[in-house]
Chains A and B, each alone.
Chain A
Amino acid sequence: MSRVHGPWFALPVGLFLAAFFAAPIVIVAWYSLMPPRTFELSGALTTANYRAAFGEGYERPLMWSALGAALTTLVCALLAWPTATILHRSAGRWAGVVTALIALPIFISESVRLFGMSLFLMPGGGILAGTLNALFEVRVGSILNSRLGALVGLVYIHFPFMLFPLLLGVAMVPADRIEAARDLGAGRLAVFREVELPLAAPGLSIGCLLTFVLALGANAEAAILGGRAVTVITAAIEQRFNYAQDWPMGAALTVLVIAVTAAVVFPVLARVPLDRIIRR
């Protein structure tokens, strides 16, 4: 009986995502093959937009976005690993409160949080600079409107997306396995490399994947905290769509981002037992 019901229950979600997730990707891919600066979907197919993307220097924003996403992933992983192990090992009452406190900001709009970050970092009269000046008469510079500022914003926004999958991953490491390795004479590094890292790998992979993919398309961090220091790929696509009114070119850039995403997502998801993590 249940074999017959399954597909029917899957159908509404399936149709919805086919219409508003799969179809838009196909439409964008089709647009990317249309002659430059046209708005029709019936033109002759051409690869001119892709050639122009690399001829007109759009590989730079793409590279900045990829580099920013990679650095964000790395920094988030380095910050989240100790946090996750501490929270896991001291699974007392306060660990639950701390976990909830870390989750809470996800539900506050990123425009509010990035705005707060810029108020905090603002040179001269910002919260940090103003306080230091008033209390200690120290004048400090600011990382606002620089590449570093954009990176700090990216790490700030994406940290929870790394932490929560990693918490599930760290929970998959049995404590007695670590004890056993220690008893057998393994040092801290050996325990980390031979026991903790491989057993927590599914959670770490999902955290890295989520962080990388979300940071790859991120735009607001660079806009609010990076100033004009860096143009990310999403800003470049938006510029092509809106101001240049060149849909096929914007579509070609979008396809390039989707290609990078797919190249990262499919191999990782194929290897990681997502169901096992979700079931926990």
Chain B
Amino acid sequence: MSRSGPLPFLRAAWIVAILACLYLPIVSVVLASLANSRYMRFPHRVWTLDAYREAVGFFQTWDLHLISLQIAAGVVALSVALGTLGAMAYARYDWRGRGLFRRLLVLPVFFPQPVLGLALLLSFTAAGVVPSWKTVVIAHAVWIVPIVTLVISIRLFGYDVAQEEAAFDLGATRLQVFREVTLPALWPGIFSGALFAFLLSWSNLPLSIYTSGPDTPLPVWLFSRVATNYAPLVPAIAVIGTIVSALVVLGLVGLRGALARLR
């Protein structure tokens, strides 16, 4: 490109600096987990995996993971179901209220999450609903359903409706058209939507913190332990939680690949 711009070296240095800033805190968590003293004094006198051994044997580690997993699974199911239908209304069909629907749909994304969490907490309590992992699913979904709807819609914008009409003309039934034409076209969007839903739910703190009640998801527990009662166990569990989410994503991607090969 243009030779008049800043030197290529400067540009590369800028990008490296941005990446370094983004990853330093994450590296710091890993480094902190390799100690065995309750006080953070870097560099550690002893480098050890003790904290991981303790974390794996600690029943609460798996409790936290189970609750986070349960919530994320609920959010994925809810947001894929609602998001697929919503995407049809957003991008596939042309109808009178569509402009308004598109504008209203994005509002939850442009809304401060902790404020949404507090508003939901107040409403649930007023309605006599006791906060639990189920209320977290609802809270996450308010924010994630619009995102998944948009992710699936992006796929649908490139969708040619004529294919469906051609299938009808060739004598296919409504169900056949949906299974053979519409769903395969939607599938990549649904899959990315599900991944987004899982990851966003797994890592969410601001909505969970006010709506989870006694069922503590992983990020909320980490948040509470950062302030008080620090031990290398805390960063170790943070690392384990991140690895587990990466494994789930890799597993899903692998499963999809295997299914595609079977077909």
**A115 and B222 in contact (CB under 8 A), knowing A6-B93, A210-B110, A278-B153?**
yes
User: Which residues from A are CB-within-8-Å of B206?
Assistant: 110, 217-220
Could you tell me the distance in whole angstroms from the C-beta of A127 to the nearest C-beta in chain B?
5
Whether B93 pairs with A112 at a CB distance below 8 angstroms is no
* Candidates A118, A175, A216, A241; contact of B122 at CB < 8 Å: A241
Whether A257 pairs with B115 at a CB distance below 8 angstroms is yes
User: Which residues from B are CB-within-8-Å of A185?
Assistant: none
Q: Is B261 an interface residue (CB 8 A)?
A: no
Whether A109 pairs with B25 at a CB distance below 8 angstroms is no
CA distance A86 to B2 in the complex (A): 12
* Candidates A13, A83, A216; contact of B14 at CB < 8 Å: A83
Chain A 233-280 interface residues, beta-carbon cutoff 8 Å to B: 234, 237-238, 241, 247, 250-251, 254, 257-258, 261, 265, 269, 274-275, 278-279
Whether A275 pairs with B42 at a CB distance below 8 angstroms is no
User: Which residues from A are CB-within-8-Å of B149?
Assistant: 13
Whether B108 pairs with A21 at a CB distance below 8 angstroms is yes
Whether B241 pairs with A109 at a CB distance below 8 angstroms is yes
Whether A102 pairs with B222 at a CB distance below 8 angstroms is no
**A24 and B112 in contact (CB under 8 A), knowing A109-B204, A119-B29, A130-B43?**
no
Whether B122 pairs with A251 at a CB distance below 8 angstroms is yes
User: Which residues from A are CB-within-8-Å of B5?
Assistant: 89
Interface residues of B, count at CB 8 A: 97
User: Which residues from B are CB-within-8-Å of A43?
Assistant: none
Whether A9 pairs with B86 at a CB distance below 8 angstroms is yes
Whether B238 pairs with A112 at a CB distance below 8 angstroms is yes
Q: Is B77 an interface residue (CB 8 A)?
A: no
Binds A, one of B51-59, B96-104, B185-193: B96-104
User: Which residues from B are CB-within-8-Å of A122?
Assistant: 40
Whether A217 pairs with B235 at a CB distance below 8 angstroms is no
Whether A111 pairs with B223 at a CB distance below 8 angstroms is yes
Q: Would you call the interface of chain B mostly helix, strand, loop, or mixed?
A: helix
Whether B24 pairs with A120 at a CB distance below 8 angstroms is yes
User: Which residues from A are CB-within-8-Å of B19?
Assistant: 98, 101-102
Digitize B1-39: 1 where CB-to-A-CB distance is under 8 Å, 0 elsewhere. Answer: 110110000010011001101111111110110000001
Q: Is A55 an interface residue (CB 8 A)?
A: no
Chain A 208-236 interface residues, beta-carbon cutoff 8 Å to B: 209-210, 213-214, 216-220, 223-224, 234
Whether A105 pairs with B18 at a CB distance below 8 angstroms is no
User: Which residues from A are CB-within-8-Å of B213?
Assistant: none
Q: Is B133 an interface residue (CB 8 A)?
A: no
Q: Is B67 an interface residue (CB 8 A)?
A: no
Q: Is B49 an interface residue (CB 8 A)?
A: no
Whether B238 pairs with A279 at a CB distance below 8 angstroms is no
Whether A105 pairs with B26 at a CB distance below 8 angstroms is yes
User: Which residues from A are CB-within-8-Å of B210?
Assistant: 238
**A269 and B110 in contact (CB under 8 A), knowing A16-B145, A109-B219?**
yes
Whether B1 pairs with A90 at a CB distance below 8 angstroms is yes
Could you tell me the distance in whole angstroms from the C-beta of B145 to the nearest C-beta in chain A?
6
Q: Is B177 an interface residue (CB 8 A)?
A: no
Binds B, one of A25-33, A44-52, A194-202: A25-33
Chain A 82-132 interface residues, beta-carbon cutoff 8 Å to B: 82-83, 86-87, 89-90, 98, 101-102, 105-120, 122, 124-127, 129-131
Whether A111 pairs with B98 at a CB distance below 8 angstroms is no
**Chain B residue nearest to A152 in the complex (CB):** B21
CA distance A76 to B155 in the complex (A): 30
CA distance A247 to B4 in the complex (A): 60
Could you tell me the distance in whole angstroms from the C-beta of A99 to the nearest C-beta in chain B?
10
User: Which residues from B are CB-within-8-Å of A238?
Assistant: 118, 210
Whether A278 pairs with B150 at a CB distance below 8 angstroms is yes
Q: Is A141 an interface residue (CB 8 A)?
A: no
Whether A108 pairs with B226 at a CB distance below 8 angstroms is no
Whether A6 pairs with B95 at a CB distance below 8 angstroms is yes
Whether B154 pairs with A278 at a CB distance below 8 angstroms is yes
Whether B108 pairs with A113 at a CB distance below 8 angstroms is no
Whether A127 pairs with B42 at a CB distance below 8 angstroms is yes
Chain B 103-138 interface residues, beta-carbon cutoff 8 Å to A: 103-116, 118-123, 126, 138
- Chain B residues within 8 Å of A, Cβ to Cβ: 1-2, 4-5, 11, 14-15, 18-19, 21-29, 31-32, 39-43, 81-83, 85-86, 88-90, 92-98, 101-116, 118-123, 126, 138-139, 141-142, 145-146, 149-150, 153-154, 157, 161, 199-200, 202-206, 209-210, 218-220, 222-223, 226-227, 234-235, 238, 241-242, 245
Interface pairs (29), CB distance under 8 Å: A9-B86, A10-B98, A14-B104, A17-B146, A86-B14, A89-B1, A101-B23, A102-B19, A105-B26, A107-B203, A107-B245, A112-B203, A112-B238, A114-B226, A115-B235, A116-B26, A116-B235, A119-B29, A156-B21, A156-B25, A214-B112, A217-B206, A237-B115, A241-B121, A241-B122, A261-B111, A261-B112, A269-B103, A269-B110
* Extra A-B contacts (10), CB below 8 Å, given A5-B93, A21-B108, A278-B157: A3-B93, A16-B142, A16-B145, A108-B26, A112-B203, A112-B242, A113-B26, A129-B42, A224-B227, A261-B111
